[in-house]
Amino acid sequence: MPAAARFGTQTIDIVMEAFESVLKRLGNFDAKGRGAFEAYLQKAVFNRGRSILRAANRRPVPQQLSEELRDQSPSPLDLAIGNATSEAYQAACNRLPERWRLAVKLHVELGYTSKEIAVEMGLTTAHAAHELVKRALLRLAREMGNGNGETQE
């Protein structure tokens, strides 16, 4: 299953959701022979996967917006923290590794959740995205405290 279709869901989550569904309907299950339950469970997992793919096909494909469409007015970030702090933030962001900079921008500027960041950045779990954002924000804070481009260790 394509990573974009999973939307941050791992295989074990798909299997567990299918298993929970089977348990809820266990009273309706009629064993027709040896291996019937296993086949029933496999079919439930397959159907759950198909449902996830159908849902992914209903979501629009993300596309980059052209710079012409960019709003030239001050961003909410600029308005909230002021120009000087915004400039320090931008300078510190530019000193971050590209992967960390993207994580910070997705979280701080675009308000993405850990799950959305995981999908956008191709991470396997929301927890991995959360840890990446946490490390990036700590480094950003150090960079903003310096203001001179040297990293404090």
* Amino acid letter for position 61: V
Q: Which residues contact 151 (CB under 8 A, 6 or more apart)?
A: 139, 142, 143
pLDDT at residue number 149: 46
| Domains of the chain: residue spans and CATH | 3-58 (no CATH), 76-146 (1.10.10.10)
> Average pLDDT, whole number, for the chain?
82
pLDDT at residue number 152: 44
Radius of gyration over every alpha carbon of the chain, rounded to an integer in angstroms: 22
Buried b (16+ CB within 10 A) or exposed e, 87-126: ebbeebbebbeeebbbbbebbbeeebebbbbbbbbebeeb
39-53, 58-72, 82-96, 118-132, range with greatest mean pLDDT = 118-132
pLDDT at 19 over 80: yes
Residue 119 φ/ψ, nearest 5 degrees: -65, -45
CA-based nearest residue to 120, from 99, 96, 93, 134: 99
